[in-house]
Structure 1
Amino acid sequence: MFLSRYLPKDVYFLHNIRILQDDYYFQMDTVILSPSFITILEIKYLVGHLYFDDQFSQLIRTYEGKKEAFPNPIEQVERQKLHLFKILNQYKFTSLPIEALVVITNPSSIIEASPTYQEASEKVIRSSSLQQKYEYLSRKHPNILYTHKEIKKLSKILSKVSSSYDPDVCNLYKINKHELIRGVFCSKCDHSSMNYDWGNWYCSTCSYSSKTAHITALQDYALLISHTITTSECSDYLNLSSKKQAYNLLRLLDLPFTGNRKSRKYNLEPLLEKTT
């Protein structure tokens, strides 16, 4: 995450933490531990017009003329906060305050909230505002409550009690990965070979076009094949004409990655909880 470059060395980042608490697994996308406070980040990659409604506690997404309702991510991250608070009490880290944020990572999405939803204006941010928001929270919690050594210990505790859930779907259902149909399916007619040209996917069967049809295909890749992908693998899987097209598509998704451009591997996990 880009924010890590701007934070002190005594701050720890934890990703995809999944902990059993009261016979229930709760999962946090990202947890930032500092000697003064903890921040939980619920990452959402959603396209379209996003409207946070406090009257019925829902997120309404309008995209390509279609309205959909989603569970309220603000309530989701607040539940995570409650569960984490109990875990901290269990391990005697009772003094650390917890902040919770919903981070919208798609830069083209429009974010709105009902006028009475004050909590949305405080807790929902774009990824580009994360550094500024964290600096604000640091000023809000200026007191050093634990030493660097203690925060490091807490980081190890949370990592140790976290249990991942990552079943091999192909193995589970006896599917040969090499027999999977590659390419981008058309959501309108289920034709499997949409063509990519000038920033759009086109279906030769029904003439439907979409700028984001590849995201669903990459979600399938993450679930069925691997959580990481290279530009070469992406180009092959999406049936693109060049690696440059794959690079541009992956870059625009703003996914975390490791390695330089030639050996770069993109982490597709953020897409698994993001509906397109």
Structure 2
Amino acid sequence: MIKKERKKPLKVISLEAILGRLPLNYQNRPYIEDELGKAMAGWRGEQAIDFHLSFLPKEQTMILHDLRLEDNENRFFQIDTVLLSSKFHLILEVKNMAGTLYFNNDPQQLVQKLNNEEKAYQCPILLVERQRLQLQTFLKKFQIPEVPILTLVVISHANSVIKFAPNFYKAKQCVIHAAAIPDKISGIKAPFKNEILSQKELKKAARILVKNHQPLNKDYLEHFNIPKSDILPGVHCPKCRNLPMERKRGYWLCPSCQHSSKNAHIAAIYDYSLLINSKITNQAIREFLHLQSIFATTKLLNSLNLKKEGQFKGRSYFL
């Protein structure tokens, strides 16, 4: 089985970076924490299915996670997980939702009952069906031979209760708990006897999807109306998260816990690239890291092997 490893979503990384550089009493902090909580729940739900996917037979199957692709109409669509095989492809739409989940078909929506409250959501079956059509058209554009594309909605929260409207047969067929993934896929693939794609074509399809993946790089400071001037500068202590560390000769020292680090500045520079600007100057990074020496800052930046342009004071580095 060939698998693209699941990474922490850029949204989660960005929100964590923002919260790490805002005062604890910042007015917008509760909203950001709530947004991060939702993003983390979604990510944990997607991670949860990886355990169950590991029980699939170790045959030539490509498993790709967290794809964001652009269709022929310049619309982006996201796929949580897709299994590519020579006989069929399978899209998994993952929902990490607790409580009682009722799939209604008139109107077609998902109703969640939790703590005596009801909330209605867009039906994930409609969403994953749209993804199927978009993926089908996308692969056709690259002359990949057409294979059947199937869909499943996977509820990753182990304690959720799934219920269906009496005549919503489609939901009963394609909505499952994460633990049922191996058995469900075993039943799905049974009728598919003929291989449509060669191994070369299968690998090509996977390469095309990965190459055309476009992560959403959203400006979350603008989204939460946070001026860049409100972002706290400095280097976090990797051990106690105190801000800022102090620069000594060749290392960083935390004044709070006395932990020392030679490369704690790397995480701070990454925060800068996420939140402030992906293009930096010596002066800008000196101010952000609380450094005094132009020479020492140049040495730190050169150690990262960054692409650069310009000379002397006009030099910029690309993160």
> TM-score interval w.r.t. the shorter chain?
0.5 to 0.7
Q: Is this contact kept in 2: 1:32–1:38, CA < 8 A?
A: yes
* Partner of residue 159, structure 2: 108
SS in structure 1 opposite 2:172?
A: helix
**C-alpha RMSD of matched pairs (Å):** 2.2
> Structure 1 residues 33 and 118, CA, compared in 2 at 3 Å: closer, same or farther?
same
Structure 1 residue 75: deviation in Å? 0.3
Deviation of 1:8 after TM superposition, in Å, equals 2.9
Residue number in structure 1 paired with 2:67: 17
Q: Provide structure 2 residue ranges, at least 5 long, that are not aligned to the other structure.
A: 1-49, 235-273, 276-319
Instruction: Return the offset for 1:156.
Output: 0.3
The number of residue pairs the alignment matches comes to: 181
1:62 positional shift: 0.6
Misfit runs of 4+, over 2 Å: 4-9, 166-179
Structure 1 or 2, whichever has the larger Rg, is: 2
Q: SS in structure 2 opposite 1:6?
A: coil
CA distance in 2: counterparts of 1:91 and 1:74, whole angstroms: 26
Counterpart in the other structure of 1:36: 87
For structure 1, which runs of at least 5 residues remain unmatched after alignment? 180-223, 226-276
**What is the distance in 2 between the residues matched to 1:5 and 1:177?**
45
Aligned residue among 167, 170, 176 for 2:231:
176
1:243 aligns with none
Cα distance, 1:50 vs structure 2: 0.4
Q: Structure 1 residues 178, 130: CA separation in 2 closer, same or farther (over 3 Å shift)?
A: farther
Instruction: State the one-letter code of the partner of 1:92.
Output: Q
SS at match of 2:190: helix
Match in the other structure for 2:33: none
CA distance in 1, matches of 2:148, 2:86: 10
Structure 1 residue 125: Cα displacement: 0.5
Cα gap change, 1:145 to 1:56, in 2 (>3 Å)? same
Shift of 1:177: 6.5
Q: Which residue of 2 aligns with 1:135?
A: 186
Q: Percent identity?
A: 32
Which amino acid in the other structure matches residue 54 of structure 2?
S
Tell me if 1:89 matches 2:137: no
Residue in structure 2 matching 1:8, options 58, 61, 80? 58
Counterpart of 1:152 in structure 2: which amino acid? K
Instruction: Verify the 8 A CA contact 1:170 1:177 in the aligned structure 2.
Output: no
Q: TM-score, normalised by structure 2?
A: 0.53
How many Å separate the matches in 2 of 1:13 and 1:178? Answer: 39
Indicate if the aligned counterparts of 2:144 and 2:201 stay in contact, CA closer than 8 A: no
Counterpart of 2:164, as a letter, is A
State how far apart, in whole Å, the 1-side matches of 2:96 and 2:232 are.
Answer: 27
- Cα deviation 1:54-110 (Å, max 9, x = unaligned): 110110111100011000000000000010110121122243100000000001101
The amino acid that maps onto 1:6 is L
Task: Note if contact 1:40-1:77 (Cα within 8 Å) is conserved in structure 2.
Answer: yes
- Determine the structure 1 residue equivalent to 2:172: 121
